[in-house]
Structure 1
Amino acid sequence: MSEKNANRGSISEGEGKIYLSLDEANALIPRIEPLVRRMVDLARDLQARYERLAALPAARRERHPLYKDEVADIEAGIQRDFAKLKDWVEELASLGAITKSPVEGIIDFYAQHDGREIFLCWRLGEPQIEFWHEVDAGFAGRRPVCELLESSTT
């Protein structure tokens, strides 16, 4: 366990991954929720700005100086905000929260169950972690965490 995580309960690291128990991951939700909300807002705004920029006809952007300056400003803003978004994703990762979709606010947490690696899955708006999925299954493969609890007791 790294020094950085030494005071965080039973968190363990492997191959640069932070593994959390369900309780530990749920305890992080109130801490990360405001950042995830800002991340979602910024990611959606970035997506909309990029789509508006892409919709401008290239000929119009390149020939008219007014468009050139405006496009340059928009592109600079997109780059600046993308860097901010990337910083937030890295901040979340340092806590053990892996951003799967900044636009939808989907966050996974590495966990281990019955000797295998899984993801505990949370989406902005959910009060706590209620789902998990296999590492290769993705959001569509989410299953209720009660399955994990049931299989642990049997």
Structure 2
Amino acid sequence: MDRIFTVDEARAMVPEVRRRAAEFVRARADLAELSYDLRMGRPSPLGGLAEAKAYEARMDEILSWFDDRGIEVKGVAPLLVDFPAELDGVSVRLCWLEGDAELAWYHRSELGFLGRRPLE
């Protein structure tokens, strides 16, 4: 999907992005803990291999939600998503990083995270 967001459209999605991100973070942490316990050969209160596969599937499902809406997932630890947009005729990405309360950053599309600037 080649969606171009306005700043207002992207900001309107942030509450749901934050909700989905929180769910992803919980699943990611549970999977990390469970995977460690499985590698160490010890029992885990989180389950076993079947539960690990279920966490992986849930994380994929959450990431698909972003993709289905034209939101680009750029990283998963921490979760970093970009909303394709255009500002003053320039192709940009509106950035949201795990832990951000709001959508307050952007960067030119070709620069990536290192070119991040605050939205005015």
- TM-based fold match above 0.5: yes
- Which residue is 1:97 aligned to? 71
Q: How far apart, CA to CA, are the structure 2 residues paired with 1:120 and 1:82?
A: 27
Q: Is the radius of gyration larger for structure 1 or structure 2? A: 1
Residue deviations 1:61-85 (CA, integer Å, cap 9, x gap): 6xxxxx7xx69x6222211111111
Identity percentage of aligned residues: 25
- Which residue is 1:84 aligned to? 58
Alignment of 1:120-139 (within 5 A): 120-139=94-113
Cα 1:48–1:136 change in 2 (3 A) is farther
- Which residue is 2:13 aligned to? 28
Alpha-carbon distance, 1:41 to partner: 1.4
**What count of residue pairs does the alignment treat as equivalent?**
118
- Structure 2: runs of 5+ lacking an equivalent: none
Alpha-carbon distance, 1:38 to partner: 0.7
- Structure 1: runs of 5+ lacking an equivalent: 1-15, 62-66, 147-154
- Choose 20-29 or 96-105, whichever is displaced more: 96-105
Matched, 1:37 2:22: yes
Contact 2:90 2:108 in 1 (8 A): no
Contact 1:121 1:129 in 2 (8 A): yes
Q: How far apart, CA to CA, are the structure 2 residues paired with 1:102 and 1:38?
A: 12
Q: How far apart, CA to CA, are the structure 2 residues paired with 1:31 and 1:117?
A: 24
- Which residue is 2:83 aligned to? 109
Q: Structure 2 counterpart of 1:98, which letter?
A: E
Provide the TM-score with structure 1 as the length reference.
Answer: 0.64
3-state SS, counterpart of residue 74 of structure 2 = strand
Give RMSD over aligned pairs: 2.4
Extract structure 1 runs of 4+ deviating beyond 4 A: none
Cα 1:78–1:135 change in 2 (3 A) is farther
Q: How far apart, CA to CA, are the structure 2 residues paired with 1:103 and 1:91?
A: 17
Alpha-carbon distance, 1:34 to partner: 1.1
- Which residue is 1:49 aligned to? 34
